[in-house]
Structure formats: C-alpha cells, structure tokens
Amino acid sequence: MLNYLKSEFYRILHGREIYSATAALAGLTVLMNLVLFAFDRLTPDFPYATVTFSLNMMTGSMPMLLMAGLIIVLFLFSDEYKNGTLKNTISYGISRNAFFTGKCIACAVAAFLSMLVVLAVYIGSAYLLLNAEGSMPVRQLLTGTAVNLPAAFASVILASALCCRFKKETAVVLWWLGIIWWLPMVCFFLGLKIESIERISEWMPWNYLKYEVSVNMSGYSCLWDTPEGVAKCLIAGSIGILVFYVAGILVFHKREIN
C-alpha cells in the first residue's frame, strides 16, 4: 500500500485538480472580502466591513468545512473513471482495501493542506481589506476549525467511499447530502417527538454545528468554548471516520469494477 500511496501523492502533486479546487475556494473568500470592502467605500457608515463580520460568517457556518471536503474529493476523483485509473490499479494487483485506504489518506492530506491555504488567504485578505477589531474572531474561527477536523475528515472519507461506489458525480453529491444533511435534519424533527432519536441527532455534526453554535456581532456562544463541547466534536467526528471507513470498505468490495 505504501507504494500506491506514494504514487497517489505524486499524482495529486503533479495534477492540477487540487490547485484548481484550492484556488476556487480561496478565490471565493477573497471575493467576499472584496464585496465588503467595496460596500465600505461606496456606502457611508457601512457597519459590516470588519474582520469580525467576515470571519464570523465562516465561524457560524462551520458545516461549510464538511462541504469543502466533498468539493476537494470530487476534484481529485474527476478523472478516475475517465482515464480508467481505478480499474487499472485493481488489475495491477493493488487490493481494494489498500486502494480505498490510500485514497482516503491522500484525499484527507490534500484537503487539509488546501484548507490551510484557504484559511491563510481568507484571514489575510480580511485583515488587508477590512477594519480590524481584535483577535477574538480569528481565535474562534481557528478553534472551531481545529475541533471539527475529525468531522471534516469523516466527510472526506464518506465522499471517497461514494466516489468509489458511483461513477456519476451527481449520485455522489446526492448521497453525500442525504447522509450528512438530510438524515440529520430528519432525525432532528423526529427527535422533537422521540427522545431516543433526539439523543442521536444531537451527536450528528450538521445538527450540533447548526443549533449549538451562535455567532453574531455582539458575541459568541459556541459548543467548543467548553471542554464538553470540544469532546463532543472530537468524539462525533472520530465515530464518523470509523463508520464511513468501514462502510466504504464493505461497499467497495461488493462493487464490480468495469
């Protein structure tokens, strides 16, 4: 598996997919800050051209971290079926376990490095273009990102498993949304009536990032501000990694490669 992993890192490093995905995500953050900057110049007393407002949008929308993982994986898998890479790799003697594990590791590392670049561009452009008001917004954003890395890696593994299962990107996106977004939403509403489902839904990343994180211009109420909240994020994300990895292995073994 080590040789396959090396070849996968080489392919990613010398391909354009990861650079395109990173540039697109970083470009969106710069564009957002440029829009705030333009409104500040064109509108008298515009109150939102601040680093706090810009960074708080991401801190309060932490599920976007999970979605970014999906985007990175889709870019990295974009030529997998077109070039017959998957079929050729399996036919050359690489086991399905080694292939899937290598894909998950390579995609997770690439997504992590891409995230570092995007965050640097995002924070840097905010401080360059907007009015700065202390360091609390940066600390909250970085803390929230750090404690939710396991959930982000779980998202990457799920997306990798779906890409190994389906050829169509549309199917991958729909299944990913169904598992990460729609299932937690259904469990949340069922949990209003059924206590056991409520306890389960509270540990689903999409739900606790939506209902246990409150960010506005006057302050923060984030679950990662407490040790219990940090533990919840780390444990839930780690469970997701394990569940999606095992499920991915099982599903990939049942799939016919052609």
Judge whether 215 and 140 are in contact, CB under 8 Å: yes
Residue 88 counted as domain residue:
yes
Task: List the domain range (segments joined by +) for residue 25.
Answer: 2-253
Beta bridge partners of 66: none
Bridge partners (DSSP) of residue 222 are 213
Tokens of 186: 């259904």
Structurally, how many domains does the chain consist of?
A: 1
Q: In whole angstroms, how far apart are CA 80 and each of 68, 83, 233?
A: 19, 6, 32
What confidence tens digit (pLDDT) does each residue in 30-70 have?
999 999 999 999 988 888 999 999 999 999 999 999 999 99
Token couple for 244 = 């999606």
- Which alpha helices (H) appear in 43-81, and where do they start and end? 51-59, 63-76
Q: Is residue 32 part of a domain?
A: yes
The stretch 115-131 carries a mean pLDDT of 96
Is residue 258 domain-resident? Answer: no
The helix (run of H) or strand (run of E) holding residue 222 is strand 219-222
Residue 7 has pLDDT above 90, yes or no: no
In a domain, 66, yes or no: yes
Could you identify the residue written with the tokens 């977004």? 181
User: Cβ–Cβ contacts within 10 Å for residue 64, how many?
Assistant: 14
Residue 107 lies in a domain: yes
Distance CA 48, CA 60 (A): 15
Residue 217 has what pLDDT?
77
Please determine, for residue 80, whether its predicted confidence score (pLDDT) is greater than 80: no
155 assigned to some structural domain: yes
Asked whether residue 225 is assigned to any structural domain, the reply reads yes
Q: Is residue 168 part of a domain?
A: yes
Provide the whole-model pTM: 0.92
DSSP 3-state of 62: coil
**Residues whose CB is less than 8 angstroms from the CB of residue 80 and which lie 6 or more positions away in sequence, other chains included:** 86, 163
pLDDT confidence bin for 136, thresholds 50/70/90: confident
